[in-house]
A and B are shown apart, each in its own frame.
Chain A
Amino acid sequence: MPQVTLTVNGKRHTVAVEGRTLLVEVLREKLGLTGTHIGCDTSQCGACVVHVNGDSVKSCTMLALQAEGAEVTTIEGLAKPDGTLHPMQEMFREHHALQCGYCTPGMVMSAIDLVAKHPEGLTEREIREGLDGNLCRCTGYHNIVKAVAAAWPLMHAKPMPAAAE
């Protein structure tokens, strides 16, 4: 069986996988990182989004072997070792942007990437379009959009540019 070596949340792992094994299966079943969820089988729902080398990726869309040498961050790797939450996690709590919690890890990972890649700011419309790849059945997205907007100034350490608001 082929092996893949990857770094997940700062820790290096070498695991034996089948050629067809998906990255999400390695995370959940081999590494026990069950925070990354599986919500569909057609790469439509985004519950499995993680960061691979700094980009948000649906981990059901990537073979584990494609992650050779990659740096992967999952929801479990976001908080600081002392438990301090990432600003996006904190804003999700503050704005009640989660209900059942199932889409939340993928939603948070997508939202972090969206905000990080838009230093010029984000309008409400852009946030909604930017989260288009993540399904949530509980919240109606209203509070998720608010949370993402509220996390932007915290992540960029400056107010959201007025033009974007």
Chain B
Amino acid sequence: MGFEGIGAAVKRKEDGRFLAGRGNYVDDINRPGQVYAYFKRSDRPHARILRVDTAAAASAPGVVAVYTGADFAADGIGGLPCGWQIHSKDGSPMAEPPHPVLAQGKVRHVGDPVVAVLAETRQQAKDAAELIEIDYEDLPGTASVLDALKPGAAVVHDEAPGNVCYDWQIGDKAAVDAAFAGAARVVKLDLTNNRLVPNAMEPRAAIGECDIAGNYTLYTTSQNPHVIRLLMGAFVLHIPEHQLRVVAPDVGGGFGSKIYHYAEEALVTWAAGKLKRPVKWTAERSESFMSDAHGRDHVSTAEMALDAEGHFLALKVSTLANMGAYLSTFAPAVPTYLYATLLAGVYKTPVIYAEVKAVFTNTVPVDAYRGAGRPEATFLLERLVDAIAHDTGIDRIELRRRNFIPANAFPYQTPVALQYDSGDYETTLAAALKAADHTGFPARRQAAAAQGKLRGIGISTYLEACGIAPSAVAGALGARAGLYEVANVRVNPTGSVTVFTGTHSHGQGHETTFAQVVAEQLGVPVSQVDVVHGDTARIPFGMGTYGSRSIAVGGSALVKAMDKIIAKGKRIAAHLLEASVDDIEFKDGKFSVAGTDKSKTFGEIALTAYVPHNYPIEELEPGLDETAFYDPKNFTFPGGCHVAEVEIDRETGVVRVVNFTAVDDIGRVINPMIVEGQVHGGVAQGIGQALLEQAGYDDGGQIVSGSFMDYTMPRADNVPNIHVGTESTLCTHNPLGVKGVGEVGAIGSPPAVINAIVNALEAYGVRHLDMPATSQKIWSILQAGAPRMAAE
């Protein structure tokens, strides 16, 4: 074998089955005797349910059962729980209105499930749903946070007067006010962060099953099966954990949208218990648009106080965050602890104050989507920095350098709770500018101008926080779960290794990267390592995959479990080699007595552990199988610099990203091929947010972008080749020195693209543009009688 350990671009182990069409996604699974569920959903944003008549549907061909909210109420089943509690400025807990599995009394967003029809075939269920009659009394609805906060606005939940979920703050307001009072200058920017639909390519699906003894299995498109088991079993359906198995097999992308516990999962499991038949549901894409948690949707004002030289003195931010109609699993944490705590960014702003009001509207719930809070913070900061440059005349790059946290200042305590362990923002900036040939830009701009195109360049220097931690801190901040990770390393008798991880791979390639970590540490070839995830019956426990936590937290648990394997292996080797344990070294897959040529291979030790004929049986159990729980000491802090270069067609307003460079500090790189792929994908999503994507609602809450025909996803011809580089500082507090790479692309890129567009339009007096920068928006600016460009 060639080198397969940490740092090798090993080809993926999982690709074989995917390329052959042999993946095993939830909708590929069929269980004997299964029935199909179809949901009749609200087509109204906000209405009282006056009457539901399911009689015709119930007697339609093939129909097995029809359920409404009343059936859940009759069964004493409450609603879907929220996993994070935020407290308002005044100390009061957030408004936490019930979220029933099927609507009870009212519908609160288009897509709210009202009736479930179960039939022998998918088509029969769908046909029968057409026969359901629902009488609604329409109520006024709201889609935007600004409308929902207006006096007299329709109230989504009686439990949340004025539609406020919480009114939260962080930072030292008095210190910030004082700094503003003494500032040489204040620069202010109003901005929005556009609402997005995650749109993993695999629509959500779930199959519930219950055997005669009351043991349940749920197959679901989840990023965290143990979390679903905990939430659904303990808080919704009251099924004890030992009688509920949750399987998340191959999952076709998540990006956050498959973290949460959804109503459909609860329904198929509950109905399977009633019917004692498997119940299968697969979303159609139009259902995804109205039932998968959306992302972003902030309206903010940001103000920076500056001294005469452009040093940042204080930052003040006020944000309205749309929660949608119900609180999704982690929604309250996103605009608070994943957003406002990131407002220092890469800058040494000494004091920061942020207030965040979370608001209910008649829209699909909003929760974490790739980056979750951090893209919103980054967009705000990096747009604000460019606006400061615009207003003060200080060069955008020089302004950033002037305010960077220097590389020798780590660990660095920010004024908004986080303590960064490592980073070097000057290095990533310099590397990105070089790779993007920043100095050659004026010539490229001139060449573009000669062809009638406006060319602009923009940068963002960003930072993010991955792997929420430690559990005790998260708990103090309102998390209702732990945030550790679990690994079980089972060395098989012949020396091959099976890793059971509580993280979940839905595109990230853990079967390969986790095997590489094993190869590095135990000297076992990647081909001899199997990585198992996504099944609560096989894996001890775990919190799943989100927030770029898998390698930082799950990888650390894996290392910790392997440390135990090595420690036990040394004791077995000491016995076999008749040496003291202290003299045994483990290196390159061999246990040796230090300073001698006496050694035993890893395979020999494994076999001895399971065939303990010559074994220290009095002091050591047989077997070689260890489990570790790892609770991180801190977040990890990836950061870097993204450079976007755009060309704008003056006739059409079409923006093309012509060059994109990302230089990221993600800590130690396990597999550079996979790292680049993660950045490519994140950047494409960021370009999608910047140029194309907008979850559209009319003012009353009706969805106007309900399919791929009117929600613009980035396609192959919308994105450029993406140059990816890494300049790493190592994480100081986890054993692998890793930071995480899943979200950096989507965090750094949107402001880089918008900064480039604003740069291209500088002669048109543009200071700021909200996303998406559609061709229509740009065309309108170009048509608005802009001054002739003197530079031409």
Residues of A whose CB lies within 8 Å of any CB of B are 18, 20, 28, 33-42, 44-45, 47, 74-76, 78-79, 85, 89, 92-94, 96, 98-105, 108, 124-125, 127-129, 131-132, 134-145
Contact = CB atoms under 8 A, between A and B. Distances in A.
Contacts of B286: 41-42
A58 to B, nearest CB: 12
B494 interface: no
Nearest to A94: B11
B201 A39 contact: yes
26 contacts: A18-B123, A39-B202, A40-B708, A42-B286, A42-B707, A75-B20, A85-B19, A85-B20, A92-B19, A93-B12, A99-B677, A100-B506, A101-B23, A102-B25, A103-B201, A125-B717, A128-B716, A132-B717, A137-B200, A137-B253, A138-B201, A139-B677, A140-B722, A142-B680, A142-B722, A145-B721
Candidate in A34, A47, A132, A143 with the most chain B CB atoms within 10 angstroms: A34
Contacts of B202: 37, 39, 100, 102
Nearest to B745: A140
A144 B716 contact: yes
Contacts of A35: 20-23
B253 A100 contact: yes
B677 A96 contact: yes
B673 to A, nearest CB: 5
Interface string B666-697: 00000001101100111111000000000000
Contacts of B673: 96
A88 B40 CA distance: 42
Contacts of A38: 27, 203
Give the contact-size bracket for chain B: 35 or more
Given A28-B28, A37-B252, A132-B715, 10 more contacts: A20-B123, A42-B285, A44-B707, A85-B19, A93-B15, A96-B12, A135-B713, A137-B199, A140-B680, A141-B715
Contacts of A101: 14-15, 17-19, 23, 250, 252, 507
A94 to B, nearest CB: 7
Nearest to B20: A79
Given A101-B18, A145-B716, A44 B708 contact: yes
Please give me the 6 A-B residue pairs with the lowest Cβ-Cβ distance, nearest first. Answer: A35-B21, A102-B252, A101-B18, A140-B684, A100-B507, A75-B21
Contacts of B20: 35, 75-76, 78-79, 85, 89
Contact of B25 (A37, A40, A76): A37
Nearest to B711: A44
Interface in B460-477: none
B18 A45 contact: no
A102 B715 contact: no
B201 A89 contact: no
A137 B713 contact: yes
B707 A93 contact: no
A140 B19 contact: no
Given A93-B11, A99-B509, A137-B200, A104 B18 contact: yes
Contacts of A74: 21
Contacts of A85: 19-20
A98 B285 contact: no
Contacts of A78: 20
A127 B27 contact: no
B376 to A, nearest CB: 20
Contact of A143 (B285, B509, B677, B717): B677
B28 A34 contact: yes
A120 to B, nearest CB: 20
A33 B713 contact: no
B681 A138 contact: yes
Contacts of A127: 716
Nearest to B23: A101
B23 to A, nearest CB: 5
Contact of A138 (B25, B253, B713): B253
Contacts of B16: 93
B784 interface: no
B228 to A, nearest CB: 19
A99 to B, nearest CB: 4
Contacts of A39: 201-203, 285
Contact of B201 (A96, A131, A135): A135
Contact of A41 (B684, B707, B716): B707
Given A41-B285, A103-B201, A143 B680 contact: yes
A78 B22 CA distance: 12
B255 interface: yes
Contacts of B1: none
Given A41-B707, A96-B12, A102-B253, A139 B717 contact: no
A16 to B, nearest CB: 13
B508 interface: yes
Nearest to B687: A140
A115 to B, nearest CB: 14
